């Protein structure tokens, strides 16, 4: 490959990366399996055709009530420090950033290796322009700009408000404007409200809502996916086979994979991509500083003509309000390492 020409465009921190003092609010959301599958197939299936040795599969419930659903994680992150893990001679500085992502957990399988858990993010928003450029061009994250209001350290759990630029109406005269995308706030009577969310699942909701608030498993081992036993175990909203549950709990080095579609549009033919690859890397936990369950919450996720995440992912909601299952918070340090690209 040709040498990268530094200074052509915004400064880009070269990988691998280290992230320190990251505060995370995580909201596991139930979604329609067919909708999420459609997004994954559209973005990642071209890299996993019959000639590839890679297969990618969604989580899917094994009961009659849950087989049509999967999980999507909505996460809000506040990065104290983002930096090169092995900085070049010029000794680049570091970034701070706030971020919103919608991550789809998948099982990645290769012919010559064991299956592993990976996360694919088709929607991601940040408040740092340098990170947006670097994320798009280096790691394939489809980052878009956003404005964030999150609680300060030690200042409670909510509210969380996030604005993004969208087309709020259709038509040739429409202009892009900043609009509210996400509003997370605390609610009471969570179990009662949640029982209206999932049809024909009253018994499951009752069992899960009555679970104790203490964490009964090693949350460092299941990082960053939270209380896996409650989410994916027997009696949870999405019970999965025991071997799949074990994948979340038995990951070496407390790590997980990242899968992203990286592409550049062709100027000669705008309907084509002049470059496209499946980028994979590893996110490895360095330190889990704290973990705790968040108060029950309701998420208002707005829909616009140019951005309708709830519809695209089939997020289960009631009157535009989404109830997360067992939301939790973390503060941690982690690295992005071992980046690889498969051009297709």
What pLDDT score was predicted for residue 12? Answer: 81
pLDDT at 196: 40
The pLDDT of residue 112:
77
**Distance between CA 70 and CA 36 in Å, rounded?**
8
Q: Residue 154: what pLDDT?
A: 86
Tell me what pLDDT residue 38 has.
96
Angstrom distance (rounded) from CA 89 to CA 86: 9
Contact indicator for 241, 111 with CB cutoff of 8 Å: no
Q: What tens-digit pLDDT sequence spans the chain (344 residues)?
A: 888 888 888 778 889 999 999 999 999 999 999 999 999 999 988 766 655 677 899 998 888 878 899 999 999 999 999 999 887 666 678 899 999 999 999 998 877 778 899 999 999 999 999 899 988 999 999 999 999 999 999 888 999 999 999 999 988 889 999 999 999 999 864 433 443 443 333 333 333 333 334 455 678 889 999 999 999 998 899 999 999 999 999 887 899 999 999 999 999 999 999 999 999 999 999 999 999 999 999 999 999 999 999 999 999 998 778 999 999 999 999 999 999 998 88
Domains along the chain? Answer: 17-343 (2.40.400.10)
pLDDT of residue 122: 97
Amino acid 253: pLDDT: 87
pLDDT for position 204: 37
SS (H, E, C) the chain: CCCCCCCCCCCCCCCCEEEEEEEEEEEEEEEEHHHHHHHHHHHHHHHHCCCCCEEEEECCCCCCCCCCEEEEEEEEEEEEEEEECCCCCCCCCCEEEEEEEEEEEEEEEECCCCCEEEEEEEEEEECCHHHHHHHHHHHCCCEEECEEECCCCCCCCCCEEEEEEEECCCCCCCCEEEEEEEEEEECCCHHHHHCCCCCCCHHHHHHHHCCCCCCCCCCCCCCCCCCHHHHHCCCCCCCCCHHHHHHHHCCHHHEEEEEEEEEEECCCCCCCEEEEEEEEEEEEEEEEEEEEECCCEEEEECCECCECHHHHHCECCECCEECCCCCEEEEEEEEEEEEEEEEC
């Amino acid at each position: 490959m040709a040498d990268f020409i530094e200074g052509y465009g915004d400064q880009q921190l070269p990988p691998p990366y280290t992230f320190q003092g990251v505060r995370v609010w995580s909201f596991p959301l139930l979604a329609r399996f067919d909708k999420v599958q459609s997004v994954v197939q559209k973005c990642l299936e071209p890299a996993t055709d019959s000639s590839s040795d890679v297969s990618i599969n969604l989580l899917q419930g094994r009961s009659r009530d849950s087989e049509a659903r999967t999980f999507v994680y909505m996460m809000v992150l506040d990065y104290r420090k983002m930096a090169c893990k092995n900085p070049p001679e010029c000794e680049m500085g570091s970034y701070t950033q706030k971020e919103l992502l919608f991550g789809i957990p998948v099982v990645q399988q290769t012919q010559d290796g064991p299956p592993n858990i990976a996360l694919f993010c088709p929607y991601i928003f940040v408040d740092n322009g340098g990170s947006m450029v670097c994320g798009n061009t280096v790691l394939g994250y489809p980052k878009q700009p956003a404005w964030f209001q999150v609680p300060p350290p030690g200042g409670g759990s909510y509210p969380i408000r996030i604005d993004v630029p969208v087309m709020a109406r259709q038509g040739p005269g429409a202009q892009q404007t900043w609009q509210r995308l996400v509003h997370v706030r605390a609610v009471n009577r969570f179990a009662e409200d949640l029982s209206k969310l999932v049809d024909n699942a009253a018994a499951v909701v009752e069992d899960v809502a009555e679970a104790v608030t203490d964490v009964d498993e090693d949350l460092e081992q299941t990082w960053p996916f939270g209380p896996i036993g409650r989410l994916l175990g027997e009696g949870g909203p999405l019970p999965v086979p025991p071997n799949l549950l074990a994948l979340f709990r038995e990951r070496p080095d407390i790590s997980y994979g990242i899968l992203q579609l990286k592409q550049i549009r062709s100027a000669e033919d705008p309907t084509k991509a002049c470059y496209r690859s499946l980028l994979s890397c590893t996110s490895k936990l360095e330190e889990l500083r704290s973990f705790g369950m968040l108060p029950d919450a309701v998420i208002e996720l707005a829909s616009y003509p140019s951005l309708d995440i709830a519809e695209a992912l089939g997020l289960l909601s009631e009157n535009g309000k989404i109830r997360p299952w067992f939301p939790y918070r973390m503060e941690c340090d982690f690295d992005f390492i071992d980046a690889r690209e498969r051009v297709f």
